[in-house]
Amino acid sequence: MRLRKRLKAQHEIMEYVILTLFIVIIIIGFVFFLSGWNITQLQLDKEKARQDRALFIMKYFLSSPLFTKENSVFDDTKLDAFRSLPNECTELGKIIGENWFAEIETFNGAKWEMCTQNKNYSAYIVPANVYRKFTDKAELGTLKVGVYG
Amino acid sequence: MEIFQIFKIIFGLIVSGVILFFLIQYSGTYTLLQKDILKTNIMKSFIDNARGVYLTGNPIKFTGFSRAQLSLSLDSSREPPAVRFDLGSFQPNVPIFFVHDKELFIDRNSLDHGWWRFYFAEAMPKTEIIFSPAYNSPETWDTLENTVRLLPNSAGFEPKITYSLCSGNDVFRMCESAACESDEFLDFYTSYKSSIFITCTATFSGNYRLVTISNNCANTGEVCVNPVEKNIYIDTKTLPYADYLDIVSVIIGAQNTISGEDLYNYKQKVFQAEAKLAAKIMYERALSHVQNPAVSDECKNAYSTQASILLRISTQPTQNLLEQSKLNYYQELINNGCDYLL
């Protein structure tokens, strides 16, 4: 009789322990799920921020009077002048930040590379025009803008 | 009661206590994290929207700051300057003159230097900007007009940035429509040019900026511009102004956590950086024209003069040199068909 009572008590304690363990596992699983979700979201946000920055720099290049004659029309003499500056990337970096590059290429083969490095990047390519100041003609080309990291 | 029953109660209490403590702790941390994420998203959204306005020139209404309380400040010591908030900082990478409030109107404006245009975004809540032209002279009206031209034009948008004049206790809200915005104000204020104005003594409520234009800024309070000395007086500070954007930056920041002086210093930093780079690019460009045999002698001379001014601007972009280069650009380069209008 006493042995049966003891066994019953042990059985009930085990039930309790297993139930508690089960609840704790669910809570820990929930915490891991939420944390994992947040980490994934942060990683996605980081990637989105990188793409947004590349888009911003692209739009900046297409509209800035430092490089263009009018929106989406680059002035070749301005591009040449910018590339001939001794610290052009640092200078522009003081305005739009660093770790980016831009490449403008016409279908006639003329190319302007700015701040290119041998690193991983996210980039966008869009059509753009290049105004040839000395011949007073516009050429069709592309603008490739990317950010490193 | 059996011992086992007592054990069950104590065991249950301990386990539930531990679980409850953990859940409260975690939910607290999680809530704080979510609040931080919200604040970061609001800041990011503000910067993205301001950049969008800067790049496209399309004004917008921004209500993001109504979702959470943020304290913002400018860090002009960084390159490029950054906007600091509770949790860190963002670099807008475009010039933004702003104060934060629940509802903001974001607009783009520019300073034209002929060969280069300095674009900037401005963000302000519903505000009445009251000018007190207490010094009756053409300089006063020039200062008023040029300042208003660089301030936000909220026509067709909410919140409204309105303009009025004040003399003594009288406030002149002279426009036909209820909201006297930039363009309408500039159409109507000319009829008041012949009137004699005295320092404003009226009291105002709500969101407003009182800008006194006077040759004597002692005891005028708030923002006072002296067009003779070319100084801006704000609180106890005296700030020299080179162009009207200096005045605009002080007006936008007056009465705010991001002060007029902060925005004034920020303006100097962003303007100088861009002006120097623009001058360097345009100097090299001018030289390439001088050296090109296809360019006419007339244009070569004009580019040569321009190059010498630009070289000086590239090290010290003073207002005097900028005006000189603008004049040369329009008179010599544009009029002779050597270059194009931006």
Contact B319, B245 (CB under 8 A): no
From chain B, pick out residues whose CB is under 8 angstroms from the CB of A60. 55, 93-94
Distance between A141 CA and the closest CA of chain B, angstroms: 21
Q: Least CA distance to B287: which residue of chain A?
A: A81
From chain B, pick out residues whose CB is under 8 angstroms from the CB of A91. 276-277, 280
Among B58-62, B213-217, B289-293, B302-306, the range scoring the smallest mean pLDDT is B213-217
> In the numeric block, which tokens belong to residue A68?
């263009």
Residue B217: per-residue pLDDT: 87
Does B280 contact A85 at a Cβ distance shorter than 8 Å? yes
pLDDT at A55 over 70: yes
B190-202 pLDDT per residue, tens:
888 888 888 899 9
Query: Chain A interface, mutation test: which of B23, B40, B271, B281, most A Cβ atoms within 10 Å?
Result: B281
Which one of B7, B48, B281 has the shortest CB-CB distance to A52?
B48
Distance between A7 CA and the closest CA of chain B, angstroms: 12
Q: Least CA distance to A78: which residue of chain B?
A: B285
Which one of A59, A60, A77 has the shortest CB-CB distance to B285?
A77
Residue B1: per-residue pLDDT: 63
> In the numeric block, which tokens belong to residue B172?
């002149």
Q: What's the Cα-to-Cα distance from A93 to each of A79, A89, A120, B32, B273, rounded to whole Å?
A: 16, 6, 19, 35, 10
From chain B, pick out residues whose CB is under 8 angstroms from the CB of A66. 116, 274, 277-278, 281
Count: domains in chain A? 1
What number of other Cβ atoms are within 10 A of residue B307's Cβ? Answer: 19
B78-117 pLDDT per residue, tens:
888 999 998 999 999 999 999 989 999 999 999 999 999 9
Residue B236: per-residue pLDDT: 81
From chain B, pick out residues whose CB is under 8 angstroms from the CB of A31. 26
Residue B197: per-residue pLDDT: 87
Distance between A71 CA and the closest CA of chain B, angstroms: 10
Which one of B270, B288, B340 has the shortest CB-CB distance to A80?
B288
pLDDT confidence band for B309 (50 / 70 / 90): very high
Query: Chain A interface, mutation test: which of B41, B43, B111, B285, most A Cβ atoms within 10 Å?
Result: B285
What ipTM was assigned to the predicted interfaces of this complex? 0.87
Residue A1: per-residue pLDDT: 67
From chain B, pick out residues whose CB is under 8 angstroms from the CB of A12. 4, 8
Range of the domain at A18: 2-148
> In the numeric block, which tokens belong to residue A97?
């930040």
Size of interface A-B (CB pairs under 8 A): 86
pLDDT confidence band for A15 (50 / 70 / 90): confident
Does B80 contact A59 at a Cβ distance shorter than 8 Å? no
Could you please report the per-residue DSSP string of B205-224?
-SSEEEEEE-S--TT--SEE
Q: What is the mean pLDDT of residues A14-39?
A: 88
Q: What is the mean pLDDT of residues B262-291?
A: 95
A118-133 pLDDT per residue, tens:
888 889 999 999 999 9
Could you please report the per-residue DSSP string of chain A?
-HHHHHHHHHHHHHHHHHHHHHHHHHHHHHHHHHHHHHHHHHHHHHHHHHHHHHHHHHHHHHH-TTTEEETTEEEHHHHHHHHTSTTHHHHHHHHH-SSEEEEEEETTS-EEEES--SS-EEEEEEEEEEEETTTTEEEEEEEEEEEE-
Instruction: Name every residue in A having a CB less than 8 A away from some CB of B.
Output: 9, 12-13, 16, 20, 23-24, 27, 31, 34, 38, 49, 52, 56, 59-60, 63, 65-66, 69-70, 77-78, 80-82, 84-85, 91-97, 134
pLDDT confidence band for B221 (50 / 70 / 90): low
The per-residue pLDDT of chain B, averaged, comes to: 91
Query: Chain B interface, mutation test: which of A95, A131, A136, most B Cβ atoms within 10 Å?
Result: A95
Please state the domain extents for chain B: 73-265, 270-334
pLDDT confidence band for A103 (50 / 70 / 90): very high
pLDDT at A13 over 90: no
Residue B187: per-residue pLDDT: 87
pLDDT confidence band for B173 (50 / 70 / 90): confident
Rama region for B168: left / alpha / beta (φ>0; ψ in -120 to 50; rest): left
